[in-house]
């Protein structure tokens, strides 16, 4: 499935890319947002595209091949934005975008274990350079740590029951696949909660993905570094997909004296976009402009 970037019109509105300006895309993915920014910044504006997933970097390279002379692609975490910018001498930065969603290809690709709709190994890593996998957490972490993770990062009200069931099951047999974990979760949740709008496994899989990839820690590292990298008058836009991320972004933006908030409330996708692209339903965009050094 081809990945459809979310909130493209809104990103262009708030980042306001102009001819010859330079931008950083901290999660370049398959290059959907970067393509539109490159069009607006011709003839000589550049983009530094960063992604932790080496396969996403290759996708961007192919999809943006027509702009190769204005494109710098780096396989790294967005948490390293300052170091990556300095190493690539990318120092005049007019705008930065961070889209915290993962792409359709990552979700649909065989073998990653991001989705509970396919029977795959419990991996969930964006990068193979990461030593931690979902399988290690599920099978080796203490029951109390698993419960804490599910409660904090999945906001799962049945965290205790799920953690206990995981602990009981792994004594009998190692939990190795997404379907095995999905069955454990479903057997841990009372029947009347089985048929809510959100699949019972959603929060558990979210919590594991966040933990494996240190998503919230990386976001907290990224935000101050991104402001340092931005030029005076530069803009920063962050698209988040769940309340934990959005809270971190909102709090950080409010606390910075050198940032002016451009979005009083988070900007959401239009009804039409949500209908055409279901993954846009939970997207929230917040943007700021740097008013002083």
Q: What are the residue ranges spanned by the domains of the chain?
A: 8-105+215-290, 131-212
User: DSSP assignment, residue 286?
Assistant: E
Prediction pTM value: 0.91
| Domain 8-105+215-290 part of CATH 3.50.50.60 | no
Sequence-ordered alpha helix ranges (H) in 30-118: 32-40, 54-63, 81-87, 104-108
pLDDT of residue 112: 84
**C-alpha–C-alpha distance, residues 141 and 126, integer Å:** 20
Residue 260: φ, ψ to 5°: -105, 125
The reported pLDDT for the residue numbered 106 is 59
pLDDT at 271: 94
The domain 131-212 belongs to what CATH superfamily? Putative methyltransferase TM0872, insert domain (1.10.150.170)
Cα–Cα distance for residue pair 235/100, rounded to 1 Å: 17
Residue keyed to tokens 């999945």: 154
What pLDDT score does 292 carry?
81
Cα–Cα distance for residue pair 141/34, rounded to 1 Å: 39
Alpha-carbon span 82 to 228, nearest angstrom: 8
| pLDDT of the chain, 293 residues: tens digit per residue | 457 899 999 999 999 999 999 999 999 999 999 999 999 999 999 999 999 988 899 999 999 999 999 999 999 999 999 999 999 999 899 999 999 987 656 566 667 899 898 899 999 998 888 999 999 999 999 999 999 999 999 999 999 999 999 999 999 999 999 999 999 999 998 877 666 777 889 999 999 999 999 999 999 999 999 999 999 999 999 999 999 999 999 999 999 999 999 999 999 999 999 999 988 999 999 999 999 86
């Amino acid at each position: 499935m081809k990945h459809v970037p979310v909130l493209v019109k809104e990103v262009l509105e708030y980042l306001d890319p102009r001819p010859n300006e330079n931008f950083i895309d901290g999660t370049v993915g398959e290059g959907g947002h970067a393509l539109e920014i490159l069009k607006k910044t011709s003839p000589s504006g550049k983009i530094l595209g960063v992604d932790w997933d080496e396969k996403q970097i290759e996708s961007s390279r192919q999809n943006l091949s027509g702009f190769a002379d204005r494109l710098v692609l780096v396989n790294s975490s967005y948490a390293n934005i300052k170091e990556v910018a300095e190493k690539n001498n990318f120092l005049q930065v007019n705008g930065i975008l961070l889209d915290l969603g993962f792409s359709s290809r990552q979700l649909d690709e065989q073998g990653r274990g991001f989705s509970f709709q396919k029977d795959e190994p419990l991996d969930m890593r964006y990068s193979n350079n990461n030593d931690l996998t979902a399988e290690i957490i599920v099978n080796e972490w203490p029951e109390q740590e698993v419960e804490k993770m599910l409660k904090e990062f999945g906001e799962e009200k049945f965290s205790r029951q799920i953690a206990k069931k995981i602990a009981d099951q792994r004594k009998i047999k190692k939990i190795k696949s997404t379907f095995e974990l999905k069955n454990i979760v479903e057997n841990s949740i009372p029947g009347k909660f089985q048929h809510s709008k959100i699949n019972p496994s959603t929060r558990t899989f979210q919590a594991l993905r966040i933990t494996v990839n240190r998503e919230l820690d990386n976001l907290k590292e990224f935000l101050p570094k991104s402001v340092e990298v931005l030029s005076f008058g530069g803009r920063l836009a962050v698209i988040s997909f769940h309340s934990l991320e959005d809270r971190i972004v909102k709090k950080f933006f409010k606390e910075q004296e050198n940032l002016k908030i451009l979005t009083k409330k988070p900007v959401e996708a239009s009804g039409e976009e949500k209908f055409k692209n279901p993954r846009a339903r939970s997207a929230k965009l917040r943007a700021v402009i740097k008013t002083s050094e």
